[in-house]
Amino acid sequence: MKIITSSQAKLIDKLTIEKGIASETLMEQAAFSVADIAETFEPTSILCVVGKGNNAGDGIAAGRILKNRGYNVEILIVGDPTQGSPGFKKQLEIAKKYEINIYRSRIDEINYSQYDLIIDGLIGIGLTGEVKGDVAQAITRINSSGSKVLSVDVPSGISSDTGEVMGTAVEADQTVTFGFLKIGQLLYPAREYCGEIKVAPLSFDNSLINSINRELILENTVKNLLPNRPEDSYKYKFGTVLILAGSEKYPGAPILSAIGAQKTGAGMVKLITPGDSSHVLALEPSIIYRSLKKEHFEEKDVDNLKEEIEKSNVIVLGPGITENAKDFVTKLVNTYKDDKKFVLDADALSILKEKDVKLNKNFVITPHVGELSKVYKNVKNDVFGLEEYAKELNCTIVFKSSTTLITNGEKTYFNITGNSSLAKGGSGDLLSGVLGSYIAQGLTTLQACIIGSYVVYKTARDLSLEHTNYSLTPKIIADNLYKTIQQLNS
């Protein structure tokens, strides 16, 4: 499912109208979708709270349609209607002919609580500044009404490009958006304000669809990425994952990475740690393991591990290694960056601070917000900044968050499958191993990140119904990855 910016939405509107589909037609289609969804609330009385733009026109038209279907509908206009858009003025003129009760700027004189449903058409996707004055006051009254709320396109007060609350915002039960999802709807805090999002089709011009480079990850996105496993295959056909991870201080992190790689189809998983993580063999004896019997990796270990490195298809580097391994990481990356694929996680990401280290398309980095903030200042839910950073690094970034963003700078994917059960130590270690597995099996770095994140996150979401978000652990997720893979393979 494609995701667009506010400027792309306006351009699509413009191109559609230029090809002969009138703006009134698009507004009527949008209004019918709003009205249809409004009916699912089974309201007895409806208040349409609108501003003066085209978003308000959608709200007024929806109110008129609902009035014509027999519902008790009233309209509150916030702002000067003489300053409204042409679409707004047209819909207001039509609504008057249907004898709908229309209030103008009487924000405090209306008992919002008397309505079962409030349709929010105050502000659309064009919001850029902070909400103030009468509009802010109306939003406060809507939120305190106790009524169900249906927002048109985006909850008023939300930036459709960043997901930020611009001062104050409507807390919707549902949001109906048109044609495509908007970036801000998928980011926090906006996700909490949108409620359930419904995407309504309109007669939009489709000439731009192939140029839209942002997409929501759905099951159908992932199904086609699952690597084939021909019956006449052998282990090396499915690749070798080399995991260089752990330390005397953190012996558990590499175990989760190794199990994640093994349970998602890699042909060979080799785990080398400085300290003792040998209990991985009790959990998964098929993993090839050895310990260097030291506190942490050292620069000289790059040469000592040459044979294992050269026989691998992908190197998972970082979980649990600590910053003491910095020289090891730097030499390993500089030596093999053109010949090997890498997944960098945890303390391996400190390499991004080094000006003399350059990554390339062979690399996946998997930071969470704390790790990314150490090397990249513009970290706040900034899709555009993250895309620029991926271009600068020339690699694929998996930004682990409540909405996980996956980008190589050219294409960006949004993963909203996960939940708070993943906000635990070890979840990222598991994910890094899964990503390495899919890269080893022949997927591109971007493809591996799409399917790998989905498999881990979907498994976690499904399991949390049984285990709860509190009790679910990365090890339980690892042991149940097969269930999601089974669903994708059916």
Question: Is residue 156 annotated as involved in ligand binding?
Answer: yes
Is 326 marked as a binding-site residue?
no
483 is known to lie in a ligand binding site: no
CA 193 to CA 308: how far, in whole Å? 50
153 marked as binding residue: yes
Annotated ligand binding at 127? The verdict is yes
- Assess contact for 168 and 387: CB atoms under 8 A: no
402 belongs to an annotated ligand binding site = yes
Q: Is 144 annotated as a binding residue?
A: no
| Ligand-binding site membership of 70 (annotated) | no
Residue 163 tokens, joined: 């997901």
120 labeled part of a ligand binding site: yes
* Residue 128 in marked binding region: yes
Ligand-binding annotation for 401, yes or no, is yes
Is 246 annotated for ligand binding? no
Residue 404 among known ligand-binding residues: yes
**Crossing angle (nearest 10°) for helices 23-39 and 86-97:** 60
Please tell me whether 79 is known to bind a ligand: no
26 labeled binding residue: no
| Binding residue numbers | 55, 120, 124-130, 153, 156, 253, 320, 368, 400-404, 428-429
Per the annotation, where are the binding residues for AMP? 400-404, 428
- Binding-site residue positions for K(+): 55, 120, 156
Q: Which residue positions form the known binding site for (6S)-NADPHX?
A: 124-130, 153, 253, 320, 368, 429
